[in-house]
Structure 1
């Protein structure tokens, strides 16, 4: 398999002949403080110590007896290729994605959202004091669906009709739904509304829901189906939200459940003789996922298939990233083999600088964050659980101190608008490869969305939500030419 390479030569700039402390800024480890993670860390730490070990000086102040040199290089080869992930998880995504859009690079994209309804921990048991109100005294008023539009990707001038349908099959909490999943739903919608997106705004949108559906909801009041989610979801299997927009419109993101907003159905009813309505809310917070279809006919990615690698030379030196649709760039580092030939190596620092092209128009934008996940030889992301990836994590401040809090957050590179690039530190990953603890199969770029991350933690950095999603937003990036992925490495050689 041929790839586009950066020059394989390794010109070196000698910096010092004194021993220095090896500082690894990140480690490839399982997401979370699991036992295999600690074993791998301990082995890697031992390997690094072995590289820089030397005979103890017999007197204080004497230089080490083993020669140690520190070098710098920015020409280690980086191989890029475009791959299509065989499975892209969308289960429990923070955003519902609905709509259609089209661009000449990634093709025609269509998204449909599926969700269970949930009681939200509040039973539907209307009472008069402590006495349940009989069904014949409950009078139906109306029903509405409320969603918050917080994300628009595409043409914001195009109106589109959104439709809400009842599912004919239930969703499962044990299935890890991905973007290729489809659940059947009734053809006749229970709600519809035409909206025009507004860029850079967050607004609540409401739908009038059919009275037939609302009366079905009211009919369960004070019955078994109103008391537990399991019983409720047996009767109300869930909803699908679709779009009837033109293909050149936009994808809309609705917040499923957030600190400031939720998606929910509100039932209005009253007791016979009452002059005001009561309400009961049903949340779209159960099992949920986004189906995302991509038609790449006529695009540079038309021939891309699962487990394949599209060479940059076949598409004008470019590789592509849109992980919400399963398309991403794989990076490999064959130049590490050249380093190992120089002697015992310790990687002091390794920065990968990723510089994408500017998007072709104001309709599309770059991902706010990039991260890296390890792949196997078949170009599949390696998972530690069905929901979690083997990926670069933040380095602990003290190697074995407070290990649990230090090992829960993957390393994330935020887009730097000044340099127009992302910078990821690879020192731990490279050292693990050189030490023989990690195969040099490469890393895939993944793109967490804003709603995958809470704003700050107590130290002022980014904190991760329940899971680490790759597809709660649709963004895109194109890496064009050798300079789009460049390595700067400082390393120590001992002989």
Structure 2
């Protein structure tokens, strides 16, 4: 592998002047780790190495048990990409933090229970696009469960079974009543009042007296069996798929845990004509079947779920050729910009030609290396900019390189400054993450950029200490991809950044020790 050779600019300045030139502000000389020029045998110099940037489309992003599950259909008018997302869920009759199944509400406990309605509640924590229109979704049974050992990504699909509800409608501005304490000056005042609060959840009615469902009726018959348990549920209902209805477009919903919303569940309402607790009147009861997003993401015991994401680039101009990750669109072909976007899978490829020339120089001590990535001003209306991103090492075919940690193959991520660049700690309670985080800075409407210090990485690159094949470039992506064995509540959204591809640079401060 070779970085393409290109001329670079060399300027010798004092440390004080170099600090003024840093986009991120002035630095203390001790923070860079060199003496002031003229006070030591080695002078401090800096180089701005230009970066060649282009846009790639990553496939198979990890979406299993992420912090959200995307469902909907939305078009990015800026890029011309239409994105459809579908959610797949396993189901559970209890939550992992409860030590028992909710058998006390099982209809089989009572004599002659009568089905009233079945409602699917889906809490959400993200909305994109038109949030005032009604949302339309179809619900499907799955032909097979989401397996406990299989790999599921954004490109995975599962075969659908029967449609159990079509064109089910929900408002995205729902409210619910709640009782809150009245603010008063008295410490002993316990007065309360009923008020309306936002309820960020979809309410999809599957069955009601005037709208019968054969699936809901069959489900209720299962619940009338006193032997009903998780195995019986899995045999009858393999899983749930939530799919945007035909013709529904303009909105994307990020389903996920939200403490302000109703728990994500399928709620079966029924009545008992002769309830032993209240024998003189009918008693309304309910039984819950839970989705994995009922809990905060990352709960190891929650039922599995994932998102399938299908971006349609046919109307995206030059980007339409991004049919696989070997293709790319240069900044020159896209009016000087490149993109990165979570969910859809857009990333920016960075090639730094001047690094190969630095490798040929002896006696260099790298004091600081900072990658500076400007954001195109006034470029995001529909989507929010990602607050952070990551750097993957890629080969000349744009494939992410891998290394084996223990017995697990892991995609090669640039590690944080000071970390061993040949290692990678996974996300867990006893092994915190070690990857370098590219941070977003917002200093005004036309002054936004991403930046990351990668001094240790550049040193390892120059001295051939990366352990394995040298990369042909780096991939900047807001999507963190860890081994599928680590269900780590990874973020999933549609956050997107438009980058100034012509002005990305790597600024290196170094000393020549010869």
TM-score range, shorter chain: 0.7 to 0.9
1:267 deviates by: 2.2
Residue 71 of structure 1 and its aligned partner are, at CA, apart by 1.8
Unaligned runs of 5+ residues in structure 2 are 17-27, 175-197, 208-212, 276-281, 293-302
Indicate yes or no: 2:509 matched with 1:490.
yes
Please state how far the C-alpha of 1:473 moved relative to its aligned partner.
0.4
Structure-2 residue corresponding to 1:60:
none
SS of residue paired to 2:458: helix
The alpha-carbon distance between structure 1 residues 10 and 243, as it changes in their structure 2 partners (threshold 3 A), is same
Where in structure 2 are the equivalents of 1:323-338 lying within 5 Å? 323-338=342-357
Match of 1:391 among 409, 413, 420: 413
Displacement of 1:290: 1.2
For residues 3 and 473 of structure 1, the distance between their equivalents in structure 2, rounded to whole angstroms, comes to: 33
1:231-283 CA deviation, whole Å, 9 max, x = no partner?
5323311111111264751211111x456654211223355512433333222
Q: Could you tell me whether the CA contact under 8 Å between 2:393 and 2:471 is conserved in 1?
A: no
Report the 3-state secondary structure (helix = DSSP H, G, I; strand = E; otherwise coil) of the residue aligned with 1:431.
helix
Give 1:179 shift.
1.8
When residues 174 and 225 of structure 1 are mapped into structure 2, their CA distance, relative to the original with a 3 A threshold, is: farther
**Aligned match of 2:442:** 417
1:94-493 matches, within 5 Å, as 94-102=67-75, 103-119=77-93, 120-121=95-96, 124=101, 126=103, 137-186=112-161, 188-190=163-165, 192-195=167-170, 197=172, 203-210=200-207, 211-221=213-223, 226-228=228-230, 232-244=233-245, 246=247, 249-255=250-256, 257=257, 262-271=263-272, 273-274=274-275, 275-285=282-292, 286-299=303-316, 300-306=318-324, 307-358=326-377, 360=379, 362-382=381-401, 389-395=411-417, 407-418=432-443, 419-438=447-466, 439-448=470-479, 466-467=487-488, 469=490, 472-483=492-503, 485-493=504-512
Cα distance in structure 1, aligned partners of 2:272 and 2:437: 53
CA distance 1:148–1:327, shift in 2 (3 Å): same
Residues 225/436 of structure 1: CA separation in 2 closer, same or farther (3 Å cut) = farther
CA shift for structure 1 position 433: 0.5
Structure 1 residues 87 and 381, CA gap change in structure 2 (3 angstroms): farther
1:136–1:376 distance in 2 versus 1, CA, 3 Å: farther
Looking at structure 2, the residues matched to 233 and 392 of structure 1 have their Cα atoms a distance apart, in angstroms, of 42
SS in 2 for 1:366: coil
Contact 2:124 2:258 in 1 (8 A): no
Give how far 1:138 is off: 4.0
Q: Is the 8 A contact 1:269 1:277 kept in 2?
A: yes
Contact 2:6 2:354 in 1 (8 A): no
Query: What is the aligned residue count?
Result: 429
Do the aligned residues in 2 keep the contact of 1:359 with 1:365 (CA within 8 Å)? no
Report the CA distance shift for 1:4/1:136 in structure 2 as closer, same or farther (over 3 A).
farther
Closer, same or farther: CA 469–303 of 1 in aligned 2, 3 Å: same
Structure 1 contact 347–492 (Cα < 8 Å) conserved = yes
- SS of the residue corresponding to residue 145 of structure 2 reads coil
What do residues 336-357 of structure 1 show as CA deviations (whole Å, max 9, x unaligned)?
2222333233322212122222
Query: TM-score scaled by structure 1?
Result: 0.74
Question: Judging changes above 3 Å, is the alpha-carbon distance between structure 1 residues 247 and 411 closer, same or farther for their aligned structure 2 residues?
Answer: farther
Specify whether residues 3 and 163 from structure 1 end up closer, same or farther in structure 2 by C-alpha distance, changes over 3 A only. Answer: farther
Q: Distance in 1 between matches of 2:228 and 2:459?
A: 57
Cα distance between partner residues in 2 of 1:98 and 1:105: 20
Residues 406-429 of structure 1: CA distance to partner in whole angstroms, max 9, x if unpaired? 742533334222141121111121
Q: Is residue 4–residue 482 contact of structure 1 (8 Å, CA) maintained in 2?
A: no
Q: Deviations over 1:187-231 (max 9, x none)?
A: 5343643345469x8712322123544444444448697434x55
- Structure 1 residues 374, 278: closer, same or farther in 2, change over 3 A? farther
Q: 1 CA distance for matches of 2:420 and 2:500?
A: 38
What is the rounded CA distance, in whole Å, between the counterparts of 2:477 and 2:364 in structure 1?
29
Scaled by the length of structure 2, the TM-score of the pair is 0.71
Contact 2:389 2:439 in 1 (8 A): yes
Aligned to 2:191: none
CA contact (8 A) 2:342 2:493 kept: no
Return the alpha-carbon distance in structure 2 between the equivalents of residues 378 and 114 of structure 1: 32
CA gap of 1:276–1:222, structure 2 versus 1, over 3 A, is closer
What SS does the corresponding residue of 1:209 show, helix, strand or coil? strand
DSSP 3-state at the match of 2:358: helix
| Corresponding residue SS for 2:343 | helix
Does the residue aligned with 1:148 lie in a helix, a strand or coil? strand
Q: Tell me by how many angstroms 1:92 deviates.
A: 1.7
Identify if the C-alpha distance between structure 1 residues 145 and 371 changes in structure 2 by more than 3 Å, giving closer, same or farther.
same
1:39-95 residue CA offsets vs partner (Å, 9 max, x unmatched): xxxxxxxxxxxxx9xxxxxxxxxx99xx4332222x212121222224222222221
C-alpha displacement at 1:165, in angstroms? 1.7
1:135/1:219 contact within 8 Å kept: no
